[in-house]
Amino acid sequence: MFDAAKFGMKTPTKILLAITAAAALSFAHPASANLITNPGFETGDLTGWTISPGGPFVTGTFNGIAPHSGNFQLVADAGGTLSQSVATTTGATYVIDFFVALNNPGILSTLSVQFGGTVFSHLFSGTNGYTEFTFNATALGPSSVLTFSFSTGPLLWFLDDVSVTPTGVGVPDAGSTLPLLGFALLGLVALRRRLTC
Burial profile 22-38: b = 16 or more Cβ within 10 angstroms, e = fewer: ebeeeeeeeebeebbeb
- Per-residue pLDDT, averaged over 42-63, amounts to 92
The string of pLDDT tens digits covering residues 123-168 is: 887 777 899 999 999 999 999 999 999 887 768 899 999 999 999 7
Q: Residue 89: its pLDDT value, please?
A: 96
Q: Say yes or no to pLDDT of 194 above 90.
A: no
Please report the pLDDT score of residue 75 as a whole number: 95
State how far the Cα of 38 lies from the Cα of 49, in Å rounded to an integer: 8
pLDDT at 55 over 70: yes
Higher pLDDT, 81 or 78: 81
- Looking at residue 103, its pLDDT comes to 86
**Amino acid at site 120:** F
pLDDT-derived band at 79 (thresholds 50, 70, 90) equals confident
Measured CA to CA, the distance from residue 67 to residue 41 in angstroms comes to 10
The least confident of 34-38, 45-49, 63-67, 185-189 is 185-189
Arch. (CATH architecture) of 50-166: Sandwich (2.60)
User: What residues are paired with 129 via a beta bridge?
Assistant: 127
Query: By the 8 A CB rule, do 137 and 167 touch?
Result: no
Position with higher pLDDT, 56 vs 54 = 56
Enumerate the domain spans of the chain: 50-166
Which of 37-46, 60-69, 164-173, 174-183 has the weakest average pLDDT? 174-183
Lowest mean pLDDT among 50-64, 77-91, 161-175, 181-195: 181-195
pLDDT of residue 108: 82
